[in-house]
Structure 1
Amino acid sequence: MAMVLCLSGCARNQNNGAFISNSAAATPGELFQTSSDRVATIGMRNNLNSLYRLMDKLYQRNPREWRKSGLGDRDATQRAVQQAIEEGRPPPSLAGRQDIVALSYALSGEFEGDRVGAFIYAIGSMLVTAHGGRTQFYLTDSIDAQFVHNAARNIEKATWLLATRRDAQGNPLLLSNEISEQGRNLSFAVEFGKIVARLDYLSDVLDERYRRIGVNYAHSLLFLNFLPVQ
């Protein structure tokens, strides 16, 4: 139990490199994970990977944004945003705002600063908040399926706002998807769709986990089975 509590306590702040790859070697900590804990951990890792790919794409299409960070180059800016997400530390431009409050502000006309970094941070912060403030999950942790479901719907709304929100001059706040005579680029919508799909799957897994607990108990009553005590 002491080992579980130790692992659980360390799950919030992760090594930044842990989310660069979609594959990872087995660790002793997996002994303290249920199947749904493992699904949640892998889902979070892959969703953050998707978010970092979206950040790279947005900075490529909107180079003026990373220049506002004052960090010298795009790679340094991306590392700073990634670290901010995984340490739960909002960038100065958000003035302490987190998750959905930060998301609304990052897509508002009043925001000044690196909008890409603020937008990506806000989504990352929202994902971590919806999962109980963690990025890895163990036996002692619990995740609310409703919050995960709500996060998926928020991603859908953010995707739509990213594509439609414009400044006072009628220009997009950020360039993302493109359908024009010059070509078609829907990679942003595709990547956001992957995040939504993973969140919806996890919420279904969590719902089923708790539903099965109730069903198993009902079976024990129906068939007059005594419950095990050891």
Structure 2
Amino acid sequence: MGRISKNITRLIISLMFLSILSACATTSNNTATLPGKAIPEQQDRSAINQLGKGDFDRMADVEVRENSESLRLLMLKLYKRNPRELQKSTSDSAEKMVDWVFDGEAQHHYQFEGVNNRLGADAIFLAFKADYTGDRVLAFIIGLQTMLLKAHGGKTDFYLNDNIDPQHMYNLARNIEIAAWKLSNARDETGTLFLLSNEINDKDKNLSFEREFGKMIGRTDLFAIGLAEKSQRLISRVVQSLATAVFLPF
């Protein structure tokens, strides 16, 4: 049985690698790209550093990095579709704003007065609050990014002594689904979407937002399954209607 379990684990790891590589290779004419950062590159790691990592630690590095990169792309795309939101935060370009948010963590620690210093689900709810006058794109992305980090114990670099809870990964995937649904459906009292994302009409068909969220959900779910198999832990699966769903805790 032990040999079978190890073989299953190796198979899951291989499938996870193939899934992520496939997602990174997918392109679309409707997809905005970040200058020079279309495909994120793994930072150079010393041989000594790698000795402290197992297969799942390296997978965790890849999963959290790729999901952060997806959020980075989504933020840029949302600003392109909703330029009025960018103007609430800065007169700089959308690219510069995105770089500041994701590359400046050491300075701002994801604490922004413009979103009332809210994080996680609280920030996402703020993005769709009728009386909120701030940058809804910033609130939405900060909420998802800090939720992603919290699910990983606040870390982006993992080693053998780290322990990621597969239930947290499963809950994160469900929370991404809920956030994506809110983005596509939340409207104000006049019936206008708070934020424009996907678009389907007689002239245009842009589902690139939906595809990017799908990549994030797929990566996270597959990683959750792999972690559960590795640790022989069961995942409590929750069934909710997206229209009334609540964000799951970590």
Query: TM-score by structure 1 length?
Result: 0.78
Alignment-derived partner of residue 67 in structure 1: 87
- Deviates most, 37-46 or 72-81: 72-81
- Which amino acid counterpart does residue 179 of structure 2 have in structure 1? A
Aligned pairs (5 A) from 1:99-178: 99-178=120-199
- Which amino acid counterpart does residue 111 of structure 1 have in structure 2? Y
Asked if the contact 1:33–1:137 (Cα under 8 Å) also holds between the matched residues in 2, the reply is yes
Alignment deviations for residues 144-193 of structure 1 (CA, whole Å, 9 cap, x no partner):
11111101001001111100111222211111001111211000000000
Unaligned runs of 5+ in 1: 1-16, 213-230
Alignment-derived partner of residue 195 in structure 1: 216
Aligned pairs (5 A) from 1:6-85: 21-28=40-47, 29-83=49-103
In the alignment, the residues of structure 2 paired with residue 77 and residue 115 of structure 1 have an alpha-carbon distance, to the nearest angstrom, of: 14
Q: Cα distance 1:130–1:138, how it changes in 2: closer, same or farther (>3 A)?
A: same
In the alignment, the residues of structure 2 paired with residue 197 and residue 135 of structure 1 have an alpha-carbon distance, to the nearest angstrom, of: 19
- Which amino acid counterpart does residue 200 of structure 1 have in structure 2? D
Aligned pairs (5 A) from 1:174-185: 174-185=195-206
Asked if the contact 2:126–2:136 (Cα under 8 Å) also holds between the matched residues in 1, the reply is no
In the alignment, the residues of structure 2 paired with residue 84 and residue 182 of structure 1 have an alpha-carbon distance, to the nearest angstrom, of: 39
In the alignment, the residues of structure 2 paired with residue 153 and residue 161 of structure 1 have an alpha-carbon distance, to the nearest angstrom, of: 13
Alignment deviations for residues 41-61 of structure 1 (CA, whole Å, 9 cap, x no partner):
100111111111111111111
Shift of residue 27, structure 1, vs aligned partner: 3.1
Q: Cα distance 1:115–1:84, how it changes in 2: closer, same or farther (>3 A)?
A: farther
Alignment-derived partner of residue 26 in structure 2: none
In the alignment, the residues of structure 2 paired with residue 182 and residue 53 of structure 1 have an alpha-carbon distance, to the nearest angstrom, of: 24
SS in 2 for 1:166: coil
Report the aligned-residue RMSD.
2.2
Shift of residue 77, structure 1, vs aligned partner: 1.5
Aligned pairs (5 A) from 1:85-104: 88-104=109-125
Query: TM-score by structure 2 length?
Result: 0.72
SS in 2 for 1:170: coil
Bigger proportion of residues as helix: 1
